[in-house]
């Protein structure tokens, strides 16, 4: 059995998790043939369904784009295909990437593959989000690499929940051409894989300047650091009240591992972190309102079959029928921030604080090489908990640990580290300075090996 046929077999066996919106098995088999003809090693890839792949449906998990077929391929996906990548399918997500559970999809929720399979019909562990389907693909083994997008933690969050690696590169080092935008200045194509070395391998295939993306750039070349030379920064602001005892313990254990290996551990201050989550939502919602304006049912997308007497009726019916409550709410809020009398009070103030947040990181990296933080407040909860009203607060609090890296455009990675009292995965997060992606991946690999050798004692 070929690599791709084996991956397809695993994907079929994993259908009960609802990780894929569109299966592209024949497409992948043909790509495997072409790769072998070019003496390339084929490898299975799953792509989050907000990236364009030519002639394959791209839905963004929404009724609005239920039948949209792009006529081009996203740059990062094409670069993978050019290296032997074979697209197994398009991964499920929260509609248009708005959510942190992957339960808000028009095609049904993604069910975390760490769940009890026998109880899936009653309740399940959430997959995290918004790139939950991509995480399931790697965790279940039917993708060596899954592509997600990361706007405020959408890759690192589900990676932590599934005990795999989730890597958000520096802003601009992976082209955004072909990615449906959520918040332009935060969005980054991101990588799920089973190891930091695999993340580095696939990142190298995709990274670099792209003529189709004016914000694209090249990462810095790798410069090695001996283990005792690495300075680990511990930001005290990440010891947040929402952090569970298990996540706090994992953070402390990772710190002690670095310390025992001879690394210098330094406490650092990121004093504007508490403001970051509020500013992130103001800036993101403003971008969302602008980006979602194109989905009008005229140029493309769902068009209502209701009788309408005006163009405004057409827009209202089409968008109300095809965009969920979360999307509509964020559009309303974004437009509120954007009106002339509010722009100075909200958007412009948030943009100023964003600069202060970036300056906090700049000052920290004058003292340390990498920051070590939690990545989620706890392990994956049950879907029934997500539906509880009180859980909405926690969803935003999980963003607390991840979105500052997006605010500053920094590379960050979720590293699988330990388990909670219920035996579910818990990760820790590493953050490096801008464009130091290869250093980050190297340190992530060091931490993983240190932890593995400690566990094997």
Look at the block and give the residue holding tokens 């939950």.
Answer: 132
Residues forming the active site: 48, 130, 154
SS (H, E, C) the chain: CCHHHHHHHHHHHCHHHCCEEEECHHHHHHHHHHHHHCCCCCEEEEEECCECECCECCCCCCHHHCCCCCCCCCHHHHHHHHCCEEEEEEECCCHHHCCCCCCCCCCCCCECCCCCHHHCCCCCEECCCCCHHHHHHHHCCCCCEEEEEECCCCCHHHHHHHCCEEEECCCCCCCCCCECCCCCCCCEEEEEECCHHHHHHHHHHHCCCECCECCCCCCCCCCCCCHHHCEEEEEHHHCCCCCCHHHHHHHHHHHHHHHHCCCEEEEECCCCHHHHHHHHHHHHHHHHHHHHHHCCCCCCCCCCCCCCCCHHHHHHHHHHHHCCHHHHHHHHHHHHHHCHHHHCCCHHHHHHHHHHHHHHHHHHCCCCCEEEEECCCCCCCEHHHHHCCCHHHHHHHHHHHHHHHHHHCCCEEEEEEEECCCCCEEEEEEEECCCCHHHHHHHHHHHHHHHHHHHCC
Separation in Å, CA 225 to CA 180, 222, 369, 440: 37, 10, 10, 11
Beta bridge partners of 192: 146, 166
CA angle 345, 346, 348 (to 5 degrees): 85
- Count of C-beta atoms within a 10 Å radius of residue 223: 9
**Is there a contact between 24 and 87 (Cβ–Cβ < 8 Å)?**
yes
How many residues would you count in the chain? 457
CB-neighbour burial class of residue 159 (10 A; exposed 0-12, middle 13-18, buried 19+) = buried
Beta bridge partners of 47: 90, 147
């Amino acid at each position: 059995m070929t690599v791709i046929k084996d991956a397809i077999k695993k994907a079929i066996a994993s259908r009960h998790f609802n990780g894929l919106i569109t299966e592209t098995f024949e497409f992948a088999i043909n790509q495997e043939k072409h790769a072998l003809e070019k003496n390339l090693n084929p490898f299975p890839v799953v792509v989050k369904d907000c990236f364009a792949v030519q002639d394959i449906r791209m839905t963004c998990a929404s009724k609005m784009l239920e039948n949209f077929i792009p006529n081009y391929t996203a740059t990062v996906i094409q670069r993978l295909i050019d290296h032997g990548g074979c697209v197994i399918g398009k991964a499920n997500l929260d509609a248009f990437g708005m959510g942190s559970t992957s339960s808000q999809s028009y095609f049904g929720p993604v069910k975390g593959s760490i769940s009890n399979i026998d109880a899936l019909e009653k309740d399940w562990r959430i997959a995290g989000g918004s790139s939950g389907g991509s995480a399931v693909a790697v965790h279940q083994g039917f993708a060596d690499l899954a592509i997600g997008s990361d706007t405020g933690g959408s890759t690192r969050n589900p990676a932590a929940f599934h005990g795999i690696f989730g890597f958000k590169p520096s802003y601009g080092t992976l082209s955004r051409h072909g990615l449906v935008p959520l918040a332009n200045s935060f969005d980054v194509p991101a990588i799920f894989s089973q190891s930091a070395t695999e993340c580095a391998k696939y990142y190298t295939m995709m990274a670099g300047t792209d003529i189709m993306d004016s914000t694209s750039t090249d990462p810095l070349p790798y410069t090695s650091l001996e283990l005792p030379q690495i300075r680990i920064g511990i930001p005290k602001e990440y010891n947040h009240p929402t952090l569970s005892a298990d996540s706090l313990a994992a953070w402390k254990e990772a710190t002690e591992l670095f310390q025992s290996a001879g690394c210098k551990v330094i406490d650092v201050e990121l004093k504007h972190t508490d403001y970051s989550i509020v500013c992130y939502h103001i800036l993101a919602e403003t971008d969302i309102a602008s980006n979602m304006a194109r989905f009008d049912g005229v140029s493309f997308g769902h068009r209502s079959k209701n009788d309408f007497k005006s163009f405004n009726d057409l827009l209202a019916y089409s968008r109300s029928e095809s965009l969920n409550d979360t999307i509509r709410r964020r559009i309303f809020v974004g437009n509120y921030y954007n009106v002339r009398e509010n722009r100075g009070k909200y958007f412009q103030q948030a943009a100023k604080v964003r600069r202060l947040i970036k300056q906090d990181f700049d000052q920290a990296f004058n003292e340390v090489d990498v920051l070590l933080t939690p990545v989620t407040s706890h392990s994956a909860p049950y879907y029934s908990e997500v539906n509880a009203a009180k859980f909405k607060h926690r969803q935003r609090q999980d963003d607390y640990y991840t979105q500052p890296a997006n605010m500053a455009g920094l590379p960050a990675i979720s590293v699988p580290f330990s388990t909670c009292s219920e035996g579910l995965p818990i990760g820790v997060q590493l953050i490096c300075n801008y464009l130091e992606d290869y250093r980050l991946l190297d340190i992530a690999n060091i931490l993983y090996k240190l932890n593995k050798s400690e566990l094997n004692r």
